[in-house]
Amino acid sequence: MGEAIKLIGIGDNGKESLLPIYEKWIYESDILVGGERHLSFFPDYNGEKISIKKGLKELVNRLQHETKKIVILASGDPLFYGIGSFLASKINLDIYPNVSSVQLAFARMGEKWQDAYMTSVHGRSMKGLAQRIDGKEKVALLTDEQNSPNEIAKYLLSFNMTEYEAFVAENLGGELERCGYYTLEEMAQATFSPLNVVILKKVKPSPSWTFGIDDQEFLQRKPEKGLITKKEVRILSLSALQLTPASIVWDIGTCTGSVAIEASKIATEGAVYAIEKNEHDIENCLENMKKFRSDITVVHGCAPERLDEFPNPNAIFIGGTSGNMDEILDVCTKRLEPNGRIVVNVVTIENLAAALKGLKQREFDVDITSVQVSRSKPILSLTRFDALNPIYIITAKRKGEV
């Protein structure tokens, strides 16, 4: 293995942010690689300059066969949502980080940051951000021109997350540095430099929802309030799905969205995709998503149609089939990722038999739990029990998988 390429973090104030030895290495190199802004800090550089424009794969192909001395420049800490991790997996690198933009932003605030939740919407969708940050006391966000502080504020306001105050740090370390505190309403209206970091700090209490949300908390179809996966069955079904924070989840026949919403609170770093055939139920689901701060993907349709729009899942909940049990199982069993789970709720023995037969035909092991729940109800000064409809919870996994 030849001499390692040096990857050096640089601040927005250019050369001033570098140790003298780093600057020496840059001028002694034959090739300097970086974004156009980074390269502009060295107008007197005599070697070859390569601007990172077309993506990293093409750059890696070039650098893997290069024998000259190379230095790559990257913003701040290249291993903090930067290019460092990818490049280090492909080429021999020595990495010299600078102060990250998030570290500088907290310094400007005078706030500790070891307890902050950090995430990025730079070059990626804000989808799912609501459940990722809900309840967090302190959040650091890397932004971009599309996912600007304005758009972040509008997004948070759409989920009524007004417990946060924002601190926006622009052009950190540069001549045009500007920092300030904003309410979300103020941040939605202000203008900002494209180079910024947003820190969200909780300044007042927020709603708190624990696992197993009471049924009456969900907006439901009226007068038929029974069309919801009841709390007790929901808890057992979600447990059977064996969700992780990174799970990709399908909810087929989501109705009020109760299962999908609770799943999103577990799979906070993953994603939840739901389908429902009834438009009015979708309207209720969307309102429930706002209330419970669950940013899931919901589509209108009758499964198995539109399931091809979803990425392959690690977990599938089937709460309704509209008579398409066999077709739905065919798609689900083919698309399910290795070691995934399918959980089906049925109320009739005919659907139980159809699900059991369909899953076994497709080489799945099946466990069935019959759930009969009764809830207490006052009668004068006494207490009696009301029985809920019996439910069969079917849990399936591929044969031979753990």
Nearest Cα neighbor of 262 from 249, 252, 253, 280 is: 249
- Domain of 40 in residue numbering reads as 5-99
Q: For residue 70, with 0-12 CB atoms within 10 Å meaning exposed, 13-18 middle and 19 or more buried, which class applies?
A: buried
Q: Which helix (H) or strand (E) is 351 found in, with range?
A: helix 349-361
DSSP string of 366-391?
A: EEEEEE--EEEEEETTEEEEEEPPPE
The model's pTM:
0.90
- Give the angle 119-123-125 at the CA atoms, nearest 5°: 70
Look at the block and give the residue holding tokens 């093409």: 58
Domain boundary among 54, 82, 99: 99
Whether 210 maps to a domain, the answer reads no
Is residue 256 a contact partner of residue 219, using CB atoms and an 8 Å limit? Answer: yes
Q: Do residue 72 and residue 122 come from a single domain? A: no
Is residue 49 a contact partner of residue 32, using CB atoms and an 8 Å limit? Answer: yes
Q: Which helix (H) or strand (E) is 128 found in, with range?
A: none
Residue 2: its pLDDT value, please?
61
Domain boundary among 37, 66, 99: 99
Q: Do residue 143 and residue 95 come from a single domain? A: no
Look at the block and give the residue holding tokens 């899953």: 359
Residue type, 121: V
Q: What is the distance between the alpha carbons of residues 208 and 134, in angstroms, rounded to a whole number?
A: 9
pLDDT by residue (tens digit) across 190-240?
999 999 999 999 999 999 899 999 999 999 887 665 579 999 999 999 999
Q: Do residue 118 and residue 92 come from a single domain? A: no
Is residue 29 a contact partner of residue 7, using CB atoms and an 8 Å limit? Answer: no
Please, what are the averages of pLDDT over each run of 10 residues along the chain (402 residues)? 86 92 96 94 95 84 89 94 92 94 96 96 95 97 96 98 97 92 97 95 93 94 74 97 98 96 97 96 96 97 96 96 94 97 96 96 97 94 94 96 84
Reported as half-sphere exposure (CB side, CA atoms, 13 A), residue 55 has a value of 3
Q: Do residue 88 and residue 141 come from a single domain? A: no
Residue 241: its pLDDT value, please?
98
* Number of Cβ within a 10 Å radius of residue 180: 14
DSSP string of 57-88?
A: HHHHHHHHT--S-EEEEEES-TTSSSSHHHHH
Q: Do residue 51 and residue 153 come from a single domain? A: no
Is residue 86 a contact partner of residue 74, using CB atoms and an 8 Å limit? Answer: no
Residue 222: its pLDDT value, please?
72
Q: Do residue 234 and residue 150 come from a single domain? A: no
Domain CATH for 14: 3.40.1010.10
Q: Do residue 80 and residue 185 come from a single domain? A: no
Look at the chain and report how many structural domains it folds into.
3
Q: Do residue 302 and residue 337 come from a single domain? A: yes
